[in-house]
Amino acid sequence: MTGEVIDRCKTGIPGFDELCQGGLIRNSGNVLVGGPGSGKTTFLLQFLWNGVNKFNENGLYCSFEPDIAEVAEDAKVHGWDLYKLNDEGKVKFVKFSPETSIREIKSELTKLVSKNDIKRICFDPISVLALSQNDEGKIREMVFELSSLMKRLKVTTIFTDESMELDLGQARMSTDLSKTDIIQFLSDAVIFLYDTGIAGNADRSLRIRKMRRTNHVRQPVGMLINDSGIEVFNGQQE
C-alpha cells in the first residue's frame, strides 16, 4: 500500500528522525546496539528528555545495572535535569536486579506505566538481564515476553544491547551471535552506534540496520556527542 501514514514517535535527536520518515514507529520495540561508550545511554536519555520537553510524553528508564543514580548525573552534563522530571513524575527510574523474575518485572512495569501515563520506555542494557540466564531458550522467552508486554501497554520501547565486535563495515559470522542477539530479530528496528566516524565526517557514526514499514537511510551517517547530546548528520542539514 502506498501513502499509508504511520504514526511516528519522534526522538527529537537532531538529524535522526529525518533518517526514518519522521521517527520510530509508535508503540514499537527498538534496539540500539553498540560498544562501550558508543552513546547508547546518551541516546536513551535524550529520547526521554525530549519526550517530556518537546512532545509531552512521559518516560521510564529501566536499568539492570546497580549504579542507576549515576545515569541522572550523566544526563546533567548535557543540561537534562532528570532529577526534576523524576520529582514531577514525568521520567521515572527503576532498577531491576538480573535475578528479578520476568513476572515481577512485568507486574512492576504495568503498574508504573498506568500510574505515570508512560509512553516511552528504555531498558539499559538488556545484556545484563541475560547474565543470570544461560539457557538461550529462556533468554529468548524473556525478551519476547518483555517486548510483547510493551506492545500491549502501548509504549514505544528502546532496548540497548552491548556488542564488542562492532566495527563499521565489519560483517559478523552467524556463529558469533551473542546471547541477546535474538532481540534484533524480535525488534521492529535495529540501530547500530559506532565510535568511529566516516571519511572525516564526525568521529562517530550511526546506522539503521532495519526499521520495519520504513523507507529509512541504510548507509552509516556521521554522529557526534557534545555538551548538547547527540547530533546526527543526515546529509540534509548544513
Nearer to ligand ATP, 106 or 123 (CB): 123
Q: How far is the CB of 148 from ligand ATP (least distance, A)?
A: 26
Distance CA 109, CA 115 (A): 10
Residue 225: contacted member of ligand ATP, Mg ion, none (CB under 5 to 8 Å, by partner type): ligand ATP
Site membership for ligand ATP, residue 77 (CB under 6 A):
yes
Q: How far is the CB of 137 from ligand ATP (least distance, A)?
A: 26
Q: How far is the CB of 200 from Mg ion (least distance, A)?
A: 27
Residue 227: contacted member of Mg ion, ligand ATP, none (CB under 5 to 8 Å, by partner type): ligand ATP
Query: Mutual orientation of helices 40-55 and 68-77 as an angle, nearest 10°?
Result: 70
Residue 77: contacted member of Mg ion, ligand ATP, none (CB under 5 to 8 Å, by partner type): ligand ATP
Find the binding residues for ligand ATP in span 204-233 (CB under 6 A).
225-227
Find the binding residues for ligand ATP in span 24-43 (CB under 6 A).
34, 36-42
Cα–chain-centroid distance for residue 20? Answer: 15
Total residues binding ligand ATP (CB under 6 A): 13
Nearer to ligand ATP, 64 or 153 (CB): 64
User: 178: which DSSP letter?
Assistant: -
Distance CA 96, CA 100 (A): 6
Find the binding residues for ligand ATP in span 144-183 (CB under 6 A).
162
Give a three-class secondary structure readout of 151-175: HHCCCEEEEEEECCCCCCCCCCCHH
Total residues binding Mg ion (CB under 5 A): 2
Distance CA 133, CA 68 (A): 22
**Residue 144 DSSP SS3:** helix
Q: How far is the CB of 160 from ligand ATP (least distance, A)?
A: 7
**Residue 146 DSSP SS3:** helix
Sign of CA dihedral 208, 14, 120, 82: positive
Please report, for residues 55, 61, 120, 192, the alpha-carbon distance to residue 48 in angstroms, rounded to integers and kept in the order given: 10, 8, 7, 19
Nearer to ligand ATP, 34 or 51 (CB): 34
Q: How far is the CB of 227 from ligand ATP (least distance, A)?
A: 5
Interface residue list for ligand ATP (CB under 6 A): 34, 36-42, 77, 162, 225-227
**Residues at the interface with Mg ion (CB under 5 A):** 40-41
